Structure 1
Amino acid sequence: MRWLTPLLTAVLLAPSTVYTAQLRFSCSQLVVDRLDPLVNPGQTPSPHLHQIVGGNSFNATMDPSVVDISQESTCTSCQFTEDFSNYWTAVLFFKARNGTYKRVSTIGNGLGYTAANGGQTVYYLSSGKVTAFKPGFRMVVGNPAFKTPAEARTNPALQFTCLASPMTRSGYRYDFPSDTCAGGIMVTVRFPTCWDGVNTDSPDHQSHVAYPVNRNCPASHPVRIPEVFYETYWDTRPFNNKAKDWPTDGTQPFVWSFGDKTGYGNHGDYIFGWKGDALQRAMDANCNSDLIQDRLNCPTLKSQAIAQANTCSVQRRVREDLDGWWKELPGGGMP
């Protein structure tokens, strides 16, 4: 499949944006597997490894004819129990000095979600009235084929942060950090916030959505939708001994599961799966769980404790030793 950049002629909402709704919650790890039902539907195994959170109906095809996936799941690894969406990214690997690879684990966000069994923090943000996604909605952001800074800057929504502590929210960059990070590496993925109002998907999984231009949705994509935003904490701390483990030439040792050593190929995938009108209710109520640490603060939604979310998982379809050392990346590390 050919990867395309979404319609993008301006930057995202500025960091100073005042959000009316800030739905923030933890999604524990559902599974780590070599499946990609959007880019490689039905292919088992897919070319590279992913880490997935959300509803337990996740599978190799996510058949588009099954429009409402919330009816297929029996549990979710997310705190809001009406959210059976699936959220996934590539997997980070450490390349040792001897050339072998070790998978890097995810850990719970240090800002209130350390009890999570890995996974990621998910946000739904709005700065005014938005239209929630329709059943069957899916999208991809980013491009694993990107290898240059210029390419990465065409999509400022995908960034890395070297965590000095869980509180670090500065020093964003488009490539992997070049030095050790005391708290690990945080990877952020922000999806477009404008929709064409018609298609719940497109052949490239990107053309039906767009980023705003000067804060306004373009005429081609006039419907404002919630901003979906992931924060994934990768626990790179076990690999912080530069003198022993890092390449002798001083270059950074991390690589995405599709073989990208730069970080510019960062990307994320999303399939909507909220039950009924739950997400629209939360957006209309201007729920704000981001300002109260470790409290969901959205009475219109049903929720579960992180400990319960940790119990929702699925069996890996591709049987691989994901805890061992690899001579090459699973699948050969191709986009």
Structure 2
Amino acid sequence: MRSDSLYVLYQPSADEGINFLREFKLNEFDGEEDDVQQIYALKATTSYRSIFCADNRLYMTGQRPEILDLTTNEVLYSEYVARANPEWSDFGLVFSHGGAVYRSVVWNDASQGLDVVRDYQVVGHLALDIAFEYPPTDQYFYGFGTARDVFRVYCLETQAMLLELDLAPYRIGEWPLKKHVDRAGNRLFVLAGNTVLLVDLGPNTRAATAVVVNQLNYVEEPVLQGLLASGHLTGNSYAYKISAARDGFAIFNARSRSFMMYVAISETGDKMRPVWVEHTRREITAINTEGDLLFGIEDYRPKAWDKFNGDQVWQASAGTMANAIQLGDHWVVFTHPSGDLQCFRWKKPYLSPHRPG
């Protein structure tokens, strides 16, 4: 999603065909899918690709990645044009910053670092072990190590490591460490095992910083202890995802025994206060917004909750196959890699009667 535009990448099921991209301007779309113009087309065989919008660019990662300028529909980078390093794996992750393209050397091994590419020539290498889910949108490049359990923040401008956190102290028992990160404004919300760490990135200037300013052990909260005592949470069923906004974050898991906790944070970040917890024997996932709502999926049905007290305020009339959620301007879109799409327009802003004064 970008504003009210939904970008959908079509891939042929046969060995030969045309890959193409359509831009659905949802405020204008009349339901006739075939009438929507293609803004990009590629005659090639691809087995896996995913897309992500950032800074008016569309990143197509996976097999032979590409970058598309969404203002001009011009291809800025494509490994169907040239591959700068013959030793790259055929699949890769890419992002751009400062006129350069950063490309993973190995698709599933971040410890091999990134090559820096200009004009389809390798001009440098970052020997970093940082696995990232989405391309960075500024100089802050962050993610988790793969060789060991650490979280790192690196500055692309100064080529300096700003922060390295050892996550071993946050492990829960002998279970593999569950970890995830989300960003809201100049804050990173790092979920690691039993704890959420709040990292302040400071002003987005060349003198970049990254400092842990607060942390919350959510497992020690009485309401979570109650779920453990009742047997609702057992084994490896703690939170593994986090979704953040400037005023708080939601943590959740998506298992047969699920829970979702919402935590409010103060403007300065010095206070983190659990507000409510919902638990269910159905799978649940959610995405936070800068408004008063959480959108999500519970028991295969799109829903929305009041973030300030946890009340469900909406649910779709039909179920969904979706496992991911995208937010646009007044739009929420539920997606699945198989091609299942459901788009909902939130016409009137929801103002919670439970919002703190």
TM-score (norm 2): 0.24
Larger radius of gyration: 2
User: Which structure has the higher relative contact order (CA within 8 Å, separation 6+)?
Assistant: 1
**TM score, norm. by length of structure 1:** 0.25
Structure ranking higher in strand proportion: 2
